[in-house]
Amino acid sequence: MINVTQPSVGAEELAAISAVFDSKWLGSGRRTEEFEEQFAQHLGVSPESLLFLNSATSGLFLTAELLGIGPGDEVVLPSNGFIANANCVIDAGARPVFCDIDDGVLNPRVEDVVKVLTPRTKAVMVLHYGGYPGEVEKIAALCAERGVALIEDAAVSVASSAGGRMCGTFGDFGIWSFDARKVITTGDGGMLYVRDPEVARRARRLAYHGLEDRSSFTTAAKSPHLWWSFDIEDIGRRLVGNDMTAAMGKVQLRRLPEFVGRRRAIAERYTRALSGVPGVRVPPPLPEGHLSTHYFYWVRFDTQAVRDGVSEDLLAKDIYTSWRYYPLHRVARYGATDAVLPVTDKVSDTALLLPAHQDLLDEEVDLVAREVVEAVAARGAIRG
């Protein structure tokens, strides 16, 4: 089976985890701090603004709490996003308001966001679809002008940038995912960026039970007398990552340039093979000054019937395809099934994700491309 996504892990990651075992300290500690510091250097931000968490989803829910999102508030977000994006809004008692997307890079444009802004808008959440930055610079400027918080779902954009600035750092909050299928993985895990230093300190407290200094539960080094005493202001939860996953993350971060380089080569190989094929539309080129992780490689077809047929034909050849993400405005629980999002609907019905991960061999990419061409031809697709 050729998978859509899969991690690249091996001996280096095992050795790093083994060293954590040997240290006898598995929880959040020195390696966690080192991972935060190294990721901060990668992003070009202060380590104090970053927090390694047990998942990106935890980062989204924590962000909603830090912003004080609640009943009566609205959060604008694209419908073609992960379920956690809407769930954190609903959980806070607020209302998700879905906006449409660009027909090319599948990200919201400024005009899409403006259409659904209201006096009740508390925040805008953007998704860098498949690693494409989109109009994040313009949307950040819009949010600053309107006094609305900007949350960046940079889950798959660990190496994406626009104008030399890393995705996830344009807004007030940014979240990256390191789950088992992401560009770099810690098995499960995520990183949260908080622009405001005081809010970042509060985020750190809330992520560990409300404690100002988590060392009071882990070591006596900072206080020789009654080191186990503590006080809290906020009622928090336990959302922090640990040294086992952080050790793995440090290795993966070091390998990131290799991973992204390979993903870029795979995307270029697909584009060369599929450009100009009747009935197949490939992703547009990146705008000048934009870099992508190339997490997704999607193709578009003329109709849903062709898309579904191509997916079935490839699966019969042990080639797994998918579509991410199922449009959230079609989920009844979110109360937006009457939303008018023509581009989102069209894309969701006619697009397909092809296998795109750094372990793919050139011959596998070529095989997938050939099978797509044959499947489209067999379905009698006519370019629109």
The single residue of 182, 222, 317, 346 carrying the catalytic annotation is 182
**H or E element that contains 312:** helix 304-316
Question: Any bridge partners for residue 177, and if so which?
Answer: 190
Euclidean distance between CA atoms 186 and 382, whole angstroms: 44
**What is the phi-psi region of residue 187: left when phi exceeds 0, alpha when psi lies from -120 to 50, beta otherwise?**
left
Euclidean distance between CA atoms 267 and 261, whole angstroms: 10
Euclidean distance between CA atoms 77 and 94, whole angstroms: 13
Euclidean distance between CA atoms 316 and 166, whole angstroms: 40
- CB count within 10 Å of CB 119 equals 5
State the alpha helices, DSSP H only, in 159-303: 197-206, 243-274
State how far the alpha carbon of 374 is from the alpha carbons of 149, 262, 309, 364, in Å.
Answer: 47, 26, 11, 15
- CB count within 10 Å of CB 55 equals 19
> Is 182 a residue of the active site?
yes
Q: For the chain, what's the residue count? A: 384
Residue 350 in 3-state DSSP?
A: helix
Point out the residues that are catalytic.
182
